[in-house]
Structure 1
């Protein structure tokens, strides 16, 4: 498969001139390891001009977008590819209203598809962080009268962030996830999902980490005005500013999708050349998601 590399929009536009170009790319990603009919399980098929496959045994026809997050995209696969390219490679924030105007679709349609893309950006959890990891909790939301900092009864969205550091103390990888409260039970979700048991973790002196210190290698130190967690607090500030300046407000239902999108781009900042292909492969392999799972009820 000749994968697309780089962030050049002109080169991208030249590579994907039509929907057929995009379907060919999808077909190569989808059946890279071989075809198997999803109806009878047979492993041989004929290819049609639109790069769909017809099973040699049962005659079932499967299109390249079928079974992927591009399935039934009504505004065209090419526009969907361009949205993926923008979301994967840009260093700027992208709102649904902006994307709607940019690609000639409605804001609602743009928002729904962008949520599908964010689903594909979610970490698999197969590569937990090791080495030196700093962890802290934070809240997303505007000011609340009488509420300062962490509070169990706050209406703000609660989250925990973990950053893996390089030997020089710079951020290497980060993950952020929504939690219901600041208890050890909730914070442990981050440990289970993204942190290797061998990691040496450093946190502030919040008591929610006390139960976890019995199982994990955790050192609790004073924040020293944030100086002891400079890289971690910088990342938390960036993710909060990104949400506030681009979206103004996000629902509790969707906030984790925005965390996933932010972390996905940051964690692949050293491999931007292949980030678009990585996202397309994720869109192909991701589980099907229905509109009712995206729309907040």
Structure 2
């Protein structure tokens, strides 16, 4: 089976028209490098009907969805694939309310599966930003009226963003991380997880970055109301606009998952032809995610 490429939904439905075709797609990716039994680890076995694999050693029969983020999807694989397609190929994704209406499933069911997709969209942290990197903090919900500078409103969700620019100051990659406050301790993780020590980093004059200069090449300069960080603030506005379009509240417990989804799409804007396939690959390689692993609060 050929891997799916492109963003044309008619071609998508034509190539993956039913649950059986979707299961075949999963099986091909899951066992493309050979079979390894999830129970005993042995590689001797044979493929059975229904895209299952039978282990000769322990006789365990493994399905294409087992031990993946598609484990126990109860509303059908084609609908699940359609949700992945919508989330990965569209520029702003779709809320779980809209997904539920579009595919005739409960909003909560749609939200839960979308959290699985977002789990697959987490950064691997294997490719740190290494060129010119602008870093700043912001709050989700906009600035407080009548105030300037950093918001300390406990109701607002605080975040730090790192944007890598090329020599023409075009945006290459973006990472956003939720933080509890603006201290050096809270700012450090985005540097450790996403920024190379070799990168040329530019921030504003906030004192929270001072301790990080011991390890990173950081230049601090005045923000000048955002004019010195124009590209970075464009990305922040795009992120805020997307979050504002979500019709209900996004809790602080889940905001990082939405940041990951946003960054996943923007970082692959030059590779949209295969973004759906790459997302499916990630969902197959990831471990199952159960309700108990997700803090259940009001969210979409």
TM-score interval, smaller chain? over 0.9
Instruction: State the partner residue of 2:84.
Output: 84
Instruction: State the partner residue of 1:253.
Output: 253
Instruction: State the partner residue of 1:43.
Output: 43
Q: Is the 8 A contact 2:199 2:217 kept in 1?
A: yes
**Equivalent residue of 2:134, what SS?**
strand
Q: Which digits, 9 at most, give the CA deviation of each residue in 1:217-242, with x for residues without a partner?
A: 00001112211100001001111111
Output the TM-score relative to the length of structure 2: 0.95
Equivalence map 1:53-68=2 (5 Å): 53-68=53-68
Q: Is the 8 A contact 1:152 1:182 kept in 2?
A: no
Instruction: State the partner residue of 2:238.
Output: 238
Instruction: State the partner residue of 2:71.
Output: 71
Instruction: State the partner residue of 1:284.
Output: 284
Gaps of 5+ in 2: none
Q: Distance in 1 between matches of 2:225 and 2:153?
A: 25
Q: Distance in 1 between matches of 2:137 and 2:258?
A: 16
Q: Which digits, 9 at most, give the CA deviation of each residue in 1:174-207, with x for residues without a partner?
A: 0001011100111011000100110000001111
Output the TM-score relative to the length of structure 1: 0.96
Please state how far the C-alpha of 1:150 moved relative to its aligned partner.
1.4
Instruction: State the partner residue of 1:29.
Output: 29
Equivalence map 1:64-143=2 (5 Å): 64-141=64-141
**Equivalent residue of 1:274, what SS?**
helix
**Equivalent residue of 1:271, what SS?**
helix
Equivalence map 1:146-295=2 (5 Å): 148-152=148-152, 154-295=154-295
Q: Distance in 2 between matches of 1:134 and 1:213?
A: 14
Q: Which digits, 9 at most, give the CA deviation of each residue in 1:121-144, with x for residues without a partner?
A: 010100000010000000113665
Please state how far the C-alpha of 1:211 moved relative to its aligned partner.
0.9
Please state how far the C-alpha of 1:15 moved relative to its aligned partner.
0.9
Q: Distance in 2 between matches of 1:142 and 1:187?
A: 20
Q: Distance in 1 between matches of 2:119 and 2:41?
A: 28
Q: Distance in 2 between matches of 1:231 and 1:50?
A: 50
Q: Distance in 2 between matches of 1:116 and 1:128?
A: 24
Q: Distance in 2 between matches of 1:42 and 1:93?
A: 40
Deviates more, 1:172-181 or 1:222-231: 222-231
Number of equivalences: 297
Q: Is the 8 A contact 2:144 2:151 kept in 1?
A: no
Q: Is the 8 A contact 1:93 1:246 kept in 2?
A: no
